[in-house]
Amino acid sequence: MSNPRIEVDLSKIRHNTQIVVGLLKARGIRVTGVTKAVCGHPAIARAMLDGGAAGLAEARLSNVKRLRQAGMTCPITLIRTPMLSQVDDIVQVCEASYNTEMSVTAALAAAALRQNKVHGVILMVEMGDLREGIMPHDLGDLARRVVDMPGVALKGIGANFACLSGIAPTAAKMQALSMLANDVEGQCGPFIETVSGGNSANLPWATGGHATGRINDLRIGEAILFGVDPVTGDQIGGMYRDAFTLVAEVIETDAKSVHPVVGNADHTLARIRLVPDISKITQIILAIGHQDTDAAGLSMPPGNTLIGATSDHLVIGTKDAALCVGSEMRFQMSYGALMRAMAAPDIQINLRNDRPASIAHRVHGPGKHLALV
């Protein structure tokens, strides 16, 4: 096995999805699995679907194409406002997209007409996070414009929380979103099929016993991948936190012992700082760096501390005398560390507990390579 690598336990992704799906099903809410942190990795996306996710959502067109190329036929929604320059491809590979700009929606509609398709539009409403979204008082007008636009169909409305401003969704905000769905239906007629209430940060609200109203969808990434509530960082009951493990290799161990960093000026302080353990700390180097991941987002195994990182080196102080050149070290990652590591070309992705071959075959569908034979 080559290093560095990410080990992905797909059975844990399936399990975590099942738990979230079960929690939300009881509240009348379906789960759309968000794959952006794993760059649309098809096997991870498949594990989310196997765990009961109703569909997938992606932020980037390139990741959607990757999913389609792997044979995924499920509905995929683009959750980042589409780029005007990408509308043709978006209509081709996504059933629907989240929209906030009428110029983009009009271009999607024109692209859909050219392709003899109807593209689904979900209007994103600003509810306090101050990232993307239409102001609530403009929603009715814009919804009517979408309804009148051939080539697109108004599929729903959505909101996003706790991304840019860290504003957590409250019961009042969720109720306001429900009311907006009713208002839009009153103003322009069509049934609003999807009311997507937000992301993993909505789970405490969704499972907290509040009325869920019209909210029938949540877009969940982080909670499935990490088994935690992203706002508090607390583990969600029964979920795995360690579906992903980063493995990196030691390339230097015995060159330097680390001495306490104290100035020469104050010898009293120096004496006080000289705790016996410190002399046992060795500085080691691993072959991974900023170019591969977010070094500060790696959780150090007990007995190890992060000293620093550069583009290609991770420097750790360790008490583990057994570590030698060629040893592997294993780390849990933060969301940011995972996101970068999944996109890093030098990191191998190693899948564990994939589905049995017979089922895996069906997943990939009639592959293009078969048609060549």
Ligand X SMILES: *Cc1c(COP(=O)(O)O)cnc(C)c1O
Contact 35, 61 (CB under 8 A): no
Give least dist CB 59 to ligand X, A: 6
With CB under 6 A as the contact rule, which of the stretches 110-118, 177-185, 213-221, 358-366 interacts with ligand X?
Answer: 213-221
With CB under 6 A as the contact rule, which of the stretches 12-20, 218-226, 232-240, 287-295 interacts with ligand X?
Answer: 218-226
With CB under 6 A as the contact rule, which of the stretches 107-115, 216-224, 251-259, 322-330 interacts with ligand X?
Answer: 216-224
Beta-strand relationship, 96-99 and 76-78 = parallel
**340 is a contact residue toward ligand X (CB under 6 A):** no
Say how far apart CA 45 and CA 34 lie, in whole Å: 8
Residue nearest to ligand X (CB): 221
Residues touching ligand X: how many (CB under 6 A)? 13
Give least dist CB 6 to ligand X, A: 17
**219 is a contact residue toward ligand X (CB under 6 A):** yes
For the segment 54-73, give every residue that binds ligand X (CB under 6 A): 59
Contact 214, 192 (CB under 8 A): yes
With CB under 6 A as the contact rule, which of the stretches 81-89, 134-142, 219-227, 259-267 interacts with ligand X?
Answer: 219-227
Nearer to ligand X, 10 or 220 (CB): 220
- Which of 36, 41, 46, 173 is the binder for ligand X (CB under 6 A)? 36
Give least dist CB 27 to ligand X, A: 16
**222 is a contact residue toward ligand X (CB under 6 A):** yes
- Which of 178, 199, 216, 332 is the binder for ligand X (CB under 6 A)? 199
For the segment 270-329, give every residue that binds ligand X (CB under 6 A): none
Give least dist CB 227 to ligand X, A: 12
**112 is a contact residue toward ligand X (CB under 6 A):** no
**227 is a contact residue toward ligand X (CB under 6 A):** no
How far from chain centre, in Å, is Cα 74? 18
Nearer to ligand X, 47 or 316 (CB): 47
- Which of 200, 253, 283, 318 is the binder for ligand X (CB under 6 A)? 200
Give least dist CB 101 to ligand X, A: 15
Give least dist CB 282 to ligand X, A: 37
Give least dist CB 350 to ligand X, A: 22
Binding region for ligand X (CB under 6 A): 34, 36, 59, 79, 160, 199-200, 219-223, 230
